[in-house]
Every structure is written in structure tokens, then in C-alpha cells.
Amino acid sequence: MRRRIAMFLCVSLLICMVVGCGSPKEPGRYYDKTKGFSIKFPEGWTKTKSAFGVTVTFTDPEGRVKLGVQYQKIASGKTFEELIKVMRSFMQQQGFKIIEESETVIDGVDGYWFGELQGTNAISYYIVMNGQDSYAIMATYDKDSTDENMEEVIEASVATFKFLK
């Protein structure tokens, strides 16, 4: 009888170990397996209600900076260059003044970055495609009332973006 109980416990432990063998989640990192990404937000930031179409948004402790990720499936055959062109046009139509833009790399994939202003609101907008999945990582803040190093904080978070697919 003891042998059966010991065998049962060993098998149960083995099953638990095998089932739990997925990669461990990193503390402070947001995971969205359905959309195929993860990102680490700055310590102390909290998940807040997202605007329509935004997958997840985090806000700094003072409530002055929002950092979010938006996901969209792109129609087959559309290129990353077309996506950049559409985004640039859309931002300009919405009254954003693009003050800087450049190529970047996000999780080893070519991406693009726009730095924009709308009044005193600054926006950092990063876009990247992985297959037909497009991701926009965007941050908004008031340039006049935010720490000077906020761009560095945003860039550090963008650098943690990882594709899960």
C-alpha cells in the first residue's frame, strides 16, 4: 500500500513538473499570447483602461504618461513600407506635427519610429510588423510637465518588446 501511494505521488509530481514546464513569466512583464507579444513596463506603472483599439495601456504613478500597445492584423500582401506611409498620412491628417522619424529595430525586426507633437502633447510612436501582425507601441505625455528623461524611459520599455509567435 505504501508503495502504491509513493508511486502515485511520484507520478503526480512528474505530471505537475511536465505540465508546468512552460517558460516562467517574468515579473513586471505583460504577456498577450493571443496577440503574440510581451512587453515590460516601468516599475511602479499600473495597467489602466485602454482607449478603443489599444490592446493594453500602462500609466506612470503620477498619471501623466501613458504607454500602450496596439495590435492589428494587416491584409495579405501589404508591406511594412505601405504601413509606414499610411501611418504618416493618418497622423498628419489628425493634426500631429511629425518632428522626427527614423528606422529602428524592435526584437530583431526592422521597425519605424515617429516623434510627434500636438500642442504640448508629445507622442512617441513605434511600429513593427511580424508577418501580417502589426504592432504600434505608443507613448503620450505633456512635454512641459514631464521629466526630461521620459524619452529614455519610453525607449527602455520599447526595447523590452518581444514577439511570442
* The predicted structure's pLDDT at residue 6: 36
HEC secondary structure over 87-99? HHHHHHHCCCEEE
Domains of the chain: 26-163 (3.40.1000.10)
Q: What is the pTM of this model?
A: 0.81
Q: What does the alpha-carbon distance between residue 81 and residue 79 come to, in Å, rounded to a whole number?
A: 5
Mean pLDDT of all residues belonging to the chain: 84
Q: What is the pLDDT of residues 14-53, one digit of tens each?
A: 333 333 444 568 888 999 999 999 999 999 999 998 887 8
Q: Is 31 exposed, middle or buried (0-12, 13-18, 19+ CB in 10 A)?
A: middle
- Please tell me the total number of residues recorded for the chain in this structure: 165
Q: What does the alpha-carbon distance between residue 118 and residue 142 come to, in Å, rounded to a whole number?
A: 10
Q: What is the pLDDT of residues 119-154, one digit of tens each?
A: 888 999 999 999 999 999 999 998 887 777 888 899
Contact 128, 134 (CB under 8 A): yes
Instruction: Report the share of the chain in percent with pLDDT over 90.
Output: 61
